[in-house]
Structure 1
Amino acid sequence: MNQNKALRWTLHYLPAIGLFAGFILLWQLAVSVFGIREYLLPGPYAVWQSMLSDEIPWLSHAWITGVEILGAFLLAGVAGVALGMAIAWSQGISRALTPFLVFVNTLPKVAIAPLFLMWLGYGILPNMLIGALIGFFPVVINTAVGLTQIDQDLVDLGRVFSAPKWKVFLKIRIPNAYPYILSALKVTATSAVVGAVVGEFVASQKGLGYVIITTQSSMNTPAAFAALVWISVLGLLLYGLVALLSRLLAPWAEEAPR
Structure 2
Amino acid sequence: MSEETTRAAETASADRPRRVVIVDDHAIFRAGLRAELEGRVEVLGEAHDVESAIAVVREQRPEVVLLDVHLPGGSGGGGAEVALACRDLLEEVRVLAISVSDQAEDVVSVIRAGARGYVTKTISADDLIAAVATVSAGDAVFSPRLAGFVLDAFGTAAAAGVRDEELDLLSAREVEVMRLIARGHTYREIASDLFLSIKTVETHVSNVLRKLQLSSRHELTRWAEQRRIV
Q: Which has the higher contact order (CA 8 A, sep 6+)?
A: 1
Q: TM-score range by the shorter chain?
A: under 0.3
Rg: which structure is higher? 1
TM-score, length basis structure 1:
0.21
**Higher share in strand:** 2
Greater helix proportion: 1
TM-score by length of 2: 0.23
